[in-house]
Structure 1
Amino acid sequence: MLASSLTGLSAFAIYLVTALAMVGAFGTVYTLITPHREFHLLRSGCTAAVPAFLGAIIGYVIPLSAAMRWSASLADFVIWASIAACVQILAYGATRLLVPDVSKRISANDVAAGILLGGIALAFGMLNAASMTP
Structure 2
Amino acid sequence: MSKVAAEGFDSSEFLTLLEAGLSDDATRKKAISGVKAVIVFTLKNKDGKDQSWALDLKKEGTISKVEGTAPKSDVQLILKDADFVKLAEGKANGQKLFMNGKLKVKGNLMKATAIESVFKAVDPRPKL
Q: TM-score range by the shorter chain?
A: under 0.3
Larger radius of gyration: 1
Which is bigger in relative contact order (C-alpha 8 A, separation at least 6)?
1
Is the helix fraction higher in 1 or 2? 1
